[in-house]
Structure 1
Amino acid sequence: MELLTIGAFARLSRLSPKALRLYDELELLRPARVDPDTGYRYYTASQLGRARLVAWLRRLGMPLAGIRAVCALPPAGAAREIGAYWARVEAETAVRRDLAAFLVAELTGEPGRDPMTMLELRHSAHTDRGLVRPANQDTVYAGRRLLAVADGFGPAGRSASGAAVAALRFLDEAAEPPADGLLGALEDAVRRAGEAVRDLTGGAHDAGTTLTALLWTGSRLALAHIGDSRAYLLRAGELYRFTRDHRVEPRSLLLLKALTGDADPVPDLRLHEPLPGDRYLLCSDGLTEAVPDARIAELLSGGAGAEGTVRALVDAALAAGAPDNVTCVVADVTGPVRAPAAAGRPATPGEPVV
């Protein structure tokens, strides 16, 4: 086996000797041989592919644990992992972009809806065991200010989803909107929900819950999301999806993030400015796994009220076999009570999903 000096290997891999020494220290690219007397590193030509891959993944910003995982996979698996990582980066960047735009508008006083303009939210909720599962582990809540769906899993799934939603209910029962802002209040509440789930499960990793919640003030909405339940918006006949599934792969049952006994919750957070005529849907994956987005959009646009639409959505999942629990909340925005002082039209969340 012919060995290459670190200088020769650096030239061939287009990496600096300093970078190669760093990758050695990080255990990402170990030399084939280290001289016991001089400490000089030697490599083989067969290591060039891994060297370039490590360098590219570092430039991509992938964490060290992710790089190790990718390097241990065959090419097809590595490609899937890189694609999943970049999808998460883009989704997280979009959430931060929305928050940054909101903060810029707030701090510069750009015109928007008068904060005293109060819209109304009329909603209906329903949960069903489905046709296969022996029990319903979903929990749903629809109150004056708070809408929430939690999908429990594992031996204590039902209790976990109930505890998570219960930890948020104080937001609905408060006499006034949160003084520290919608996002801050929701983030703190999700942290409490995580603590409640940990206390319940005793630190076990095989039980937990998703959580998707909307907090309403009458002029703004805040979203907190972790797991693979979903939030949608129907606006002017177009269906938009607010959330991304925190799954290992699109069709996987394994969640990257959820409220469990062994992890601190890190939810996606975003602010949204509603319009009269908007219709929101929160649902567990028992609906979205059984009913495609196109059919969901059709039912949401069907002209029925919130209660009739919820029933139609659940019935559609049951007609499709409903292998999982099915939970839905539909909320309609009506109003305003009085006209806004400034006519700023909120942007839609992105491209329609259908």
Structure 2
Amino acid sequence: MGLLTIGAFAKASRLSPKALRLYDELGLLVPARVDPVTGYRLYAPAQLERARLVAWLRRLGMPLARIRHVCALDAGPAAEEIRAFWAQVEADTAARRELAAFLLTHLSWKEPAMPLGIRYAALSETGLVREHNQDTAYAGDRLLAVADGYGRQGATASAAAVDALKRLETDGIPAGGLLNVLQDAMEEAERAVRGVGQAGSPGGSPAGDAGTTLTAMLWTGSQLALVHIGDSRAYLLRDGGLFRITHDHTLVQSMVDEGRLTPAEAASHPERSLLVRALGEGADTTADLRLHDARRADRYLLCSDGLSAVVPDDEIRRVLSGGGAPEQTVRAFVALANGSGGPDNVSCVVADVVEVPG
């Protein structure tokens, strides 16, 4: 078979002539020959496979620069690159889904018939192995927070992140402004953590000296707004069922999401604590936002991985369901973590949603 005109090649490859001209200009799909007199582009039949790959990758929404990279790879590495791209697309879609859910819940909110409030307690201890406690746990009338610091200035970083959110205890929230308030508070927390790292590094240059996870909930009177980054966790006990309402931002969790690891394999993976999102220099600082309508008798747990990594979910559910006051419950969780060897700092916050007498 001889060379194909651009029209014939466009039909065979399912790419428009306009797209083919663009891909030629970008060096992505160069014609086999250009007629020196007419300037017509002519393509070899052997180029159809590459052209069809380009067409399919464009349908996936892959940027042209990345398509060029994929087309330069052998089949195996190209497949891995496509898998990685699609995992990122799904992660981005999930993040937008969470944001959409947040906005829908926020905009459709209605005043509850019975005023609600929270009763709470927080506790943070070093554990049995670590020399220092880099966690911070806080519980107040409106703010619940757990942060797990890392690096040489980890303790200061976790405290700075939580302190940056404490203004939410007293600041009013303008109508329709909850999302903006939370974004502003997280940006302030990020700046505070970076400031800690820069102050603790020689010459003020950041060197990974400070970083932290942050999982916090803001009580609005009938709802709890969640902000989350890292691998600290938030759980909800409702009607006897335990629900984890955060998603770990770790390397192994991303591998589970991509189907490359099972949850059981992730639990014992040597890099299970490697974060892909956190507050700190050089990290992806994109936080998850969610909004939860509170119900009477709901019970929330926020904890660092010093608890969740060593205490299984069924034990967490058992303790939360035990009926003890928040103060008793946080002590029970710390005792459980230490009873499992206490390999890490352990911090937790427990909050009960209760009716407030009128």
Judge conservation of contact 1:210–1:227 (CA < 8 Å) in 2.
Answer: yes
Q: Which residue of 1 aligns with 2:96?
A: 93
Q: Which residue of 2 aligns with 1:48?
A: 49
**CA-to-aligned-CA distance 1:207-257 (integer Å, 9 cap, x gap):** 411111111132222111122222111111112222222234414444332
Residue 193 (structure 2) pairs with residue 197 (structure 1): yes
Q: Which residue of 2 aligns with 1:310?
A: 330
Structure 1's 293 and 265: CA in aligned 2 closer, same or farther, altered over 3 A? Answer: same
1:147-166 aligned within 5 A? 147-166=144-163
1:270 partner letter: R
Give, in whole Å, the separation in 2 of the partners of 1:24 and 1:317: 61
Q: Which residue of 1 aligns with 2:180?
A: 184
Give, in whole Å, the separation in 1 of the partners of 2:151 and 2:32: 47
Judge conservation of contact 2:10–2:16 (CA < 8 Å) in 1.
Answer: yes
Q: Which residue of 2 aligns with 1:126?
A: 123
Structure 1's 218 and 58: CA in aligned 2 closer, same or farther, altered over 3 A? Answer: same
Judge conservation of contact 1:182–1:215 (CA < 8 Å) in 2.
Answer: no
Judge conservation of contact 1:31–1:43 (CA < 8 Å) in 2.
Answer: no
Q: Which residue of 2 aligns with 1:113?
A: 112
Judge conservation of contact 1:190–1:265 (CA < 8 Å) in 2.
Answer: no
Q: Which residue of 2 aligns with 1:284?
A: 304
**CA-to-aligned-CA distance 1:238-289 (integer Å, 9 cap, x gap):** 1222222223441444433221124684322222221110001111222222
Give, in whole Å, the separation in 2 of the partners of 1:337 and 1:280: 21
Which residue of 116, 131, 135 corresponds with 2:132? 135
Q: Which residue of 1 aligns with 2:14?
A: 14
SS at match of 2:295: coil
Which residue of 221, 232, 249 corresponds with 2:235? 232
- The offset of 1:86, in angstroms, is 4.5
Which residue of 223, 227, 246 corresponds with 2:226? 223
Judge conservation of contact 2:278–2:284 (CA < 8 Å) in 1.
Answer: no
Give, in whole Å, the separation in 2 of the partners of 1:168 and 1:123: 17
Give, in whole Å, the separation in 1 of the partners of 2:48 and 2:133: 52
Judge conservation of contact 2:14–2:55 (CA < 8 Å) in 1.
Answer: no
Give, in whole Å, the separation in 2 of the partners of 1:270 and 1:337: 28
1:230-269 aligned within 5 A? 230-250=233-253, 251=266, 252-262=272-282, 265-269=285-289
- The offset of 1:144, in angstroms, is 1.6
Residue 204 (structure 2) pairs with residue 209 (structure 1): no
Report the TM-score when normalising by structure 1. 0.76
Structure 2: gaps of 5 or more residues: 199-204, 254-265, 267-271
- The offset of 1:58, in angstroms, is 4.2
Structure index of larger Rg: 2
SS at match of 2:108: helix
Report the TM-score when normalising by structure 2. 0.75
- The offset of 1:42, in angstroms, is 6.4
CA RMSD in angstroms, aligned pairs only: 3.6
Judge conservation of contact 2:12–2:48 (CA < 8 Å) in 1.
Answer: no
Judge conservation of contact 1:31–1:41 (CA < 8 Å) in 2.
Answer: no
- The offset of 1:326, in angstroms, is 2.0
Give, in whole Å, the separation in 2 of the partners of 1:216 and 1:259: 22
Give, in whole Å, the separation in 1 of the partners of 2:33 and 2:273: 44
Q: Which residue of 1 aligns with 2:202?
A: none
Give, in whole Å, the separation in 2 of the partners of 1:323 and 1:70: 43
Deviates more, 1:130-139 or 1:12-21: 12-21
SS at match of 2:277: coil
Judge conservation of contact 2:115–2:357 (CA < 8 Å) in 1.
Answer: yes
Identity in percent: 52
SS at match of 1:239: strand
1:157 partner letter: G
Say how many residue pairs are matched.
Answer: 327
- The offset of 1:3, in angstroms, is 9.5
